[in-house]
């Protein structure tokens, strides 16, 4: 372990502990580095990657553990594997609303589903261990970046054009020509300058450099990632993120949750447009094969503020403050909230209309309509006749012990009615039980019959209430990440060192895309009568091919 | 008018398919014959014409429907297939490799063949899809897929060349396993096309996840079906009568698309049978049959292409597959990230290529290691596209 | 970099991450336990009874302990325990306990129909919560759920699912302490 700074025997520059190549002249000053871990000594420009300490505190030990890229990769892999587990069964967010999760998972997926639930996998992405993995990822990103970025920055900022000959030999791309004359060499210099290289001169020592920004790409994208992780973390903080469902039947007004009873919203009208079938368009074939396909649906709303600050349950004092038409992709905004059109529900019924007919199937009096949410107790048919609603179940399940109608939910999905027909001509009233597509006479030999005429569906809009103060932070983080990734990937950092003391001595390095660097160099060299550059890797490759 | 557009579009892509098939001939010849340059020029010329026709398919389908043709599974796979050709052409322009096409083009064709199994009908957009972001997101992500796939092609060629024919090792077996997978996909395409051709269709009535009645169309005999499925015959309109279709009886809850899984199982069975026949016929491992095609490949070049396609494709994937997707999701569903299976697997793909780059750049995983990783990455992309769309029903699934 | 700077960076980064992670996990845990528990303060509310009279919790708790039973006519265990609750109210009419039922989301027609079927005289105060506002404020999950609130407006007992006669008695005891 290095403690001491290293003084270069060639140029005298004092280097930080652990440096492999002298920051000034590039001489190899420290062979004692882990060659398995650092395969290309030029990756961080020969600078010390990890500052090691004599007495390692617990903080140092933790830090060093997280600077390892191998460990970082393992953390990334663990996160990816964990994420995949969450896709085996649907997460709790996606199961039907109002259903008890434990019942849902064990009913639908058996023992496997139950185990999945017990382990908390149904809420995997907010589980404590997933959060912990991401925290470790954050630490890994920071530690690895700081430990490499700072020395790299110092090294590139202070680099000199003059390099020791061993540095030249060490590079992958080299070219030597002792017979080159200065005129030709100058042409090369011009050629390189025309390729937008920036030139630094120290006498006969030249450094051509371009694209240094590319080296900062990873550090920029890592910064973006940290911002994203911070934004994601903030989601757990109260008030930062709200995601609620609003179920509003047409015509009704409901309270907007999480606003402390301050806001109410009314579903004035729900509009559903579907694509026309059989219109002669190109879509006919696919439309014919399915039910109605929605082309547009929207909710026309009125938005209210509750002026009364009375306790829960009391009547609100509503003042209208806005109206809007909420369509898919076009939310209604108030304060930090958005209300989105999510879907709709027309599975329950609003009302049913009946008529009374006599023995000859002739209608008696007027039709009557039963409001399935709030039915009347008596309906007037004509002056001599009325119909009493003896019993009603919105979602008929069975007949109870005492003959009562039992409903399995308060939602009008499968209504059943016990109607009693009272008519002046009848000695005893007639009673019958009506369900969907089925009538049972309770009193025998009825003269009159109640018949179903029509039904109106209850349309309810399903809106999503969203407040997300973290979204913009995460977006900014991701944009910075993208900038970093594009800079790091699409730009190449190229450097060419030339020593023109004895003819031409050239070495070149790039952080990636040697193919492109060679192409560029070779074109400049060839134009001026020089050979192609030597590529160490190619030489090895040729040897390998022969073997 | 729109009908004409649609016809032009369908014809274009069909001709493109044929042309790409034809292009393989001069491509193969250019590797072994004397007229190398001429043959490879002819081949690339044909590919370019095919690519232009594929662009015509795209443009005219757009004109016919009024929206970018990226809204159902067929259109998505077709897009991916076209981007593979684009990726190949870009690679060719930059590196002038010949061998590459012999592998990239068949993969594109197999994918297109696979995609055409699904409904090729045009359908109008539901409200959630009515957005410009549909086009932007899907185009960018398929382009990035096309580029990333080039690394898998390069990796595959690398492995074919470097793994000896008679080696008894894990890597040889893994390579042969890859060959088996390709045979299975082949068998799937052929069997479905045949079954469709003879009009085999058995319908089953079942109750889907939302509690509604639904009909599952089986184009292969039912081995796996939905819980309490009832065999029916379609009498027309919405009329069905009870019937007696073959059903082995394995039942699954409706969260899994049983009829898709059934197809997968059949593909594996038929594919394995076909594989067995091929092995018996050739009397050696299938990769050794294909291996000679990779003989003239330059390993360093393949390694370089493998790396560069990832370094170029990865930012594009982050941009299109994650960023644009999130913007669009926020607009359509009011949540930019919900960890649904498709998003999660895009995330996993992203993490995987992150690992690829870190292993390669920082830990020196080059050559063969990098080739294997590239192939695995492609398989993850395929898994996302195929398994998640078909087997797991949900908000984000196409089919 | 200088040793001291390096140490500061290392320590502060690690500490920051540990602390932030801890806070995040803590928020995560407490969010999951957002339902009302024994020991919580009972939120005040105002609801109308079946007869149309107004009922405010904090007014009532000035003199009596309150047992609230959340129910619906479609819920079988709710229907079954209703007579027992009624009898308990009758037995303890002179004590400073009052049992009230809060019906979740239904209109009077269904409730009156149910009561007619019961055939008993109702001594229970029957409140209506048609908008579910009180049900939501108390984070009620399954029905029936019964809560006991003492005179200090503190929740002293909570039980989900059906009550037996003994259960009801223990509620009455709990609320009188």
Quote ipTM for the complex: 0.87
**Cross-chain residue pair A282–B65, CB shorter than 8 Å:** yes
C93 in any annotated domain? yes
Q: What is the pLDDT of residue A543?
A: 58
Residues C27 and C65 in one domain: no
Question: Residues A295-326: pLDDT tens digits?
Answer: 888 999 999 999 887 888 888 889 999 999 99
Q: What is the pLDDT of residue B209?
A: 65
Q: What is the pLDDT of residue B123?
A: 79
HSE at residue A357, side-chain half, CA atoms within 13 A, is 9
Of A498 and B35, the structure prediction assigns the larger pLDDT to A498
The CA-based angle B281-B287-B288, given to 5 degrees, is: 75
Give the mean pLDDT of chain C: 89
Q: Which helix (H) or strand (E) holds A254?
A: strand A253-255
- φ/ψ of residue A252, rounded to 5: -100, 160
Contacts of C21 in chain A (CB under 8 A): 131-132, 135, 233
Measured between CB atoms, does A86 come within 8 Å of chain B?
yes
Residues of each domain in chain A carrying CATH 3.30.160: 162-211+492-546
Is-contact C151 C61, C-beta < 8 A?
yes
Handedness of CA A318, A324, A327, A330 (dihedral sign): negative
Question: Residues A176-193: pLDDT tens digits?
Answer: 888 878 888 888 888 999
C39 in any annotated domain? no
> In what order do the strands lie in the sheet containing B213-218?
B213-218, B202-207, B230-236, B239-242
> Cα(A55)–Cα(A350) distance, rounded to whole angstroms?
77
Question: Residues B251-309: pLDDT tens digits?
Answer: 887 767 787 788 888 889 999 999 999 999 999 888 988 888 888 888 988 999 999 99
**Cross-chain residue pair C113–A392, CB shorter than 8 Å:** yes
Q: What is the pLDDT of residue B254?
A: 73
> Cα(A512)–Cα(A215) distance, rounded to whole angstroms?
10
Contacts of B354 in chain A (CB under 8 A): 76
Interface of C with A in 62-91 (CB under 8 A): 72-74, 76
Contacts of A5 in chain C (CB under 8 A): none
**Cross-chain residue pair C17–A138, CB shorter than 8 Å:** yes
Interface probe for B, chosen from A35, A40, A87 (most Cβ of B below 10 Å), is A87
Residues C15 and C88 in one domain: no
| Residue A542 pLDDT class (50, 70, 90 cuts) | low
Of B246 and A453, the structure prediction assigns the larger pLDDT to A453
Q: Is A291 exposed, middle or buried (0-12, 13-18, 19+ CB in 10 A)?
A: exposed
Residue C116 CA, chain-centre distance (Å), reads: 27
| Residue B334 pLDDT class (50, 70, 90 cuts) | confident
Q: What is the pLDDT of residue A110?
A: 76
Strand-strand pairing, C65-71 and A430-435 = unpaired
B-A interface (Cβ pairs under 8 Å ≥ 3): yes
Residues C57 and C29 in one domain: no
Is-contact A33 A13, C-beta < 8 A?
no
Instruction: Indicate whether A3 pLDDT > 70.
Output: no
- Which CATH code for domain A162-211+492-546? 3.30.160
Percent of chain B residues topping a pLDDT of 90: 42
Per the structure, how many domains does chain C have?
2
Take residue A530 and report the two structure tokens written for it: 């020089």
In order of A17, A33, A54, A152, A325, the CA distances from A46 in angstroms are: 12, 11, 22, 9, 63
What is the mean predicted confidence (pLDDT) over C115-119?
A: 85
Residues C27 and C83 in one domain: no
CATH number, domain of C138, equals 3.40.30.10
Of B390 and B125, the structure prediction assigns the larger pLDDT to B125
Q: Which helix (H) or strand (E) holds C49?
A: strand C46-49
Is-contact B161 B294, C-beta < 8 A?
yes
Is-contact B50 B85, C-beta < 8 A?
yes
| Residue A339 pLDDT class (50, 70, 90 cuts) | very high
C41 in any annotated domain? no
Residues C68 and C154 in one domain: yes
Q: Which residue of B has its CA nearest to A91?
A: B340
For chain B, what percentages of helix, strand and coil (3-state, to nearest 5) are there? 70, 10, 20
Percent of chain C residues topping a pLDDT of 90: 49
Is-contact A231 A474, C-beta < 8 A?
yes
Is-contact C130 C91, C-beta < 8 A?
no
Residues C29 and C64 in one domain: no
Q: Cβ–Cβ contacts within 10 Å for residue C53, how many? A: 10
Q: What is the pLDDT of residue A296?
A: 85
Q: What is the pLDDT of residue A323?
A: 93
| Residue A541 pLDDT class (50, 70, 90 cuts) | low
Residues C21 and C82 in one domain: no
Q: What is the pLDDT of residue B295?
A: 86
Q: What is the pLDDT of residue A546?
A: 46
**Cross-chain residue pair C21–A377, CB shorter than 8 Å:** no
Q: What is the pLDDT of residue A311?
A: 82
Q: Cβ–Cβ contacts within 10 Å for residue B218, how many? A: 25
C40 in any annotated domain? no
Residues C20 and C104 in one domain: no
C-B interface (Cβ pairs under 8 Å ≥ 3): no
Contacts of A238 in chain C (CB under 8 A): 27, 31
Percent of chain A residues topping a pLDDT of 70: 95
Residues C28 and C91 in one domain: no
| Residue B399 pLDDT class (50, 70, 90 cuts) | very low
Instruction: Indicate whether A2 pLDDT > 50.
Output: no
- Residue C1 sits in which domain range? 1-34
| Residue B227 pLDDT class (50, 70, 90 cuts) | confident
Q: What is the pLDDT of residue A503?
A: 82
Interface of A with B in 276-295 (CB under 8 A): 281-283, 285-287, 289, 293-295
Residues C106 and C77 in one domain: yes
Residues C67 and C101 in one domain: yes
Q: What is the pLDDT of residue B130?
A: 78
DSSP character at residue A528: T
Instruction: Indicate whether B398 pLDDT > 60.
Output: no
Nearest residue to C24 via CA among A256, A525, A230: A230
In order of A5, B15, B43, B68, the CA distances from B10 in angstroms are: 71, 9, 23, 15
Residue A377 CA, chain-centre distance (Å), reads: 53
Of B34 and B37, the structure prediction assigns the larger pLDDT to B37
Question: Residues A368-413: pLDDT tens digits?
Answer: 999 998 899 899 988 889 999 999 999 998 888 777 888 988 888 8
Is-contact A481 A251, C-beta < 8 A?
no
Of B260 and C11, the structure prediction assigns the larger pLDDT to C11
Q: What is the pLDDT of residue B394?
A: 47
**3-class state of residue B126 by DSSP:** coil
C92 in any annotated domain? yes
């Amino acid at each position: 372990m290095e403690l001491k700074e290293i003084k270069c025997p060639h140029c005298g520059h004092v280097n930080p502990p652990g440096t492999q190549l002298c920051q000034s002249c590039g001489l190899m000053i420290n062979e004692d580095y882990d060659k398995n871990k650092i395969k290309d000594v030029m990756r961080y420009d020969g600078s010390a990657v990890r500052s090691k300490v004599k007495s390692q505190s617990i903080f140092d030990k933790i830090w060093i553990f997280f600077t390892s890229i191998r460990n970082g990769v393992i953390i990334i892999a663990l996160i990816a594997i964990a994420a995949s587990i969450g896709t085996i069964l649907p997460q709790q967010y996606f199961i039907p609303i109002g259903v008890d999760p434990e019942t849902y998972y064990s009913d639908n997926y058996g023992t496997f589903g139950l185990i999945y639930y017990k382990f908390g996998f149904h809420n995997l992405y907010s589980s404590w261990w997933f959060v912990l993995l991401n925290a470790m990822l954050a630490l890994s990103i920071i530690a690895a970046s700081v430990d490499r970025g700072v020395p790299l920055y110092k090294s590139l900022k202070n680099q000199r054009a003059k390099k020791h000959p061993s540095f030249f030999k060490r590079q992958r791309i080299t070219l030597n020509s002792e017979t080159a004359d200065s005129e030709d060499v100058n042409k090369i210099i011009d050629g390189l300058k025309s390729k937008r290289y920036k030139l630094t001169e120290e006498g006969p020592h030249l450094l051509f450099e371009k694209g240094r920004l590319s080296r900062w790409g990873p550090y920029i994208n890592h910064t973006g990632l940290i911002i994203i992780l911070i934004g994601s973390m903030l989601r757990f903080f109260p008030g930062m993120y709200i995601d609620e469902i609003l179920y509003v039947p047409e015509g009704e007004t409901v309270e907007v949750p999480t606003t402390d009873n301050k806001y109410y919203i009314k579903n004035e009208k729900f509009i559903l447009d579907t694509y026309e079938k059989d219109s002669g368009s190109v879509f006919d074939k696919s439309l014919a094969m399915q039910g109605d396909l929605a082309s547009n649906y929207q909710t026309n709303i009125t938005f209210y503020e509750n002026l009364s600050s009375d306790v829960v349950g009391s009547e609100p004092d509503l003042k209208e403050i806005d109206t809007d038409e909420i369509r898919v992709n076009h939310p209604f905004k108030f304060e930090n909230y958005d209300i989105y059109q999510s879907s709709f529900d027309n599975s329950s019924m609003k009302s049913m209309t009946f008529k009374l007919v006599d023995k000859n199937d002739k209608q008696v009096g007027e039709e009557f309509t039963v409001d399935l949410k709030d039915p009347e107790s008596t309906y007037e048919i004509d002056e001599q006749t009325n119909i009493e609603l003896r019993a009603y179940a919105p979602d008929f399940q069975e007949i109870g012990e005492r003959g009562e109608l039992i409903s399995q939910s308060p939602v009008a999905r499968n209504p059943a009615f016990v109607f009693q027909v009272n008519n002046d001509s009848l000695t005893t009233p007639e009673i019958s039980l009506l369900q969907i597509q089925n009538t049972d006479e309770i009193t025998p030999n009825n003269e009159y019959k109640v018949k179903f005429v029509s039904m109106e569906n209850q349309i309810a809009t399903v809106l999503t209430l969203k407040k997300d103060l973290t979204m913009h932070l995460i977006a900014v983080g991701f944009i910075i990440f993208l900038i970093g990734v594009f800079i790091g990937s699409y730009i190449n950092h190229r450097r060419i060192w030339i020593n023109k003391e004895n003819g031409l001595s050239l070495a070149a390095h790039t952080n990636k895309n040697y193919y492109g660097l060679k192409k560029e160099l070779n074109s400049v060299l060839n134009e001026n009568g020089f050979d192609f550059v030597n590529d160490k890797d190619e030489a090895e490759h040729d040897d390998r091919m022969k073997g | 008018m729109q009908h004409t557009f649609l016809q032009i579009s369908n014809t274009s892509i069909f001709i493109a398919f044929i042309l790409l098939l034809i292009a393989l001939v001069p491509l193969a010849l250019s590797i072994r014959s004397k007229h190398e340059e001429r043959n490879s020029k002819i081949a690339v010329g044909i590919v370019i014409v095919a690519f232009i026709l594929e662009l015509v398919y795209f443009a005219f389908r757009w004109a016919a429907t009024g929206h970018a043709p990226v809204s159902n599974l067929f259109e998505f796979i077709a897009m991916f297939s076209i981007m593979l050709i684009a990726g190949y052409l870009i690679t060719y322009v930059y590196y002038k490799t010949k061998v590459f096409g012999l592998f990239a083009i068949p993969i594109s064709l197999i994918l297109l063949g696979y995609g055409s199994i699904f409904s090729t009908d045009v359908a109008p957009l539901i409200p959630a899809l009515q957005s410009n972001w549909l086009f932007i997101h899907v185009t960018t992500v398929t382009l990035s897929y096309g580029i990333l796939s080039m690394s898998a092609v390069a990796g595959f060629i690398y492995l074919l060349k470097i793994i000896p024919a008679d080696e008894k090792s894990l890597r040889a077996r893994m390579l042969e396993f890859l060959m088996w997978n390709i045979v299975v996909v082949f068998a799937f395409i052929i069997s479905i096309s045949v079954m469709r051709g003879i009009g085999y269709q058995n319908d089953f009535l079942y109750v889907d996840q939302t509690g509604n009645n639904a009909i599952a169309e089986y184009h292969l005999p039912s081995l796996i079906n939905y819980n309490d499925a009832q065999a029916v015959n379609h009498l027309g309109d919405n009329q069905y009568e009870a019937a007696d279709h073959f059903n082995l009886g394995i039942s699954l809850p409706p969260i899994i698309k049983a009829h898709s899984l059934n197809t997968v199982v059949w593909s594996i069975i038929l594919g394995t049978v076909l594989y067995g026949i091929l092995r018996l016929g050739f009397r050696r491992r299938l990769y050794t049959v294909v291996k000679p095609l990779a003989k003239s490949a330059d390993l360093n070049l393949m390694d370089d292409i493998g790396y560069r396609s990832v370094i170029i494709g990865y930012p594009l994937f982050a941009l299109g597959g994650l960023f644009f997707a999130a913007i669009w999701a926020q607009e359509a569903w009011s949540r930019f990230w919900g960890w649904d299976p498709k998003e999660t697997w895009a995330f996993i793909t992203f993490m995987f290529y992150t690992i690829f780059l870190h292993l390669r750049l920082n830990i020196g995983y080059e050559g063969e290691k990098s080739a294997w990783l590239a192939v695995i990455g492609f398989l993850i992309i395929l898994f996302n596209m195929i398994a998640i769309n078909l087997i797991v029903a949900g908000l984000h699934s196409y089919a | 970099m200088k040793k001291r700077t390096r140490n500061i960076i290392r320590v502060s980064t690690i500490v920051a991450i540990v602390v932030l992670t801890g806070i995040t996990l803590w928020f995560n845990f407490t969010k999951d336990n957002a339902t009302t528990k024994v020991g919580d303060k009972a939120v005040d509310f105002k609801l109308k009874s079946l007869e149309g009279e107004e009922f405010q919790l904090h007014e009532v708790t000035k003199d009596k302990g309150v047992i609230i039973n959340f129910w619906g006519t479609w819920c079988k265990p709710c229907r079954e325990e209703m007579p027992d609750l009624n009898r308990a109210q009758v037995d303890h009419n002179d004590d400073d306990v009052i049992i009230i039922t809060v019906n979740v989301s239904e209109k009077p027609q269904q409730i009156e129909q149910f009561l007619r079927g019961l055939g008993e005289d109702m001594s229970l105060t029957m409140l209506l919560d048609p908008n579910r506002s009180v049900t939501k404020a108390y984070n009620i999950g399954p029905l029936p759920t019964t809560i006991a609130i003492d005179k200090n407006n503190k929740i002293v007992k909570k039980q989900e699912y059906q009550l037996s006669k003994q259960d009801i008695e223990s509620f009455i005891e709990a609320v009188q302490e």
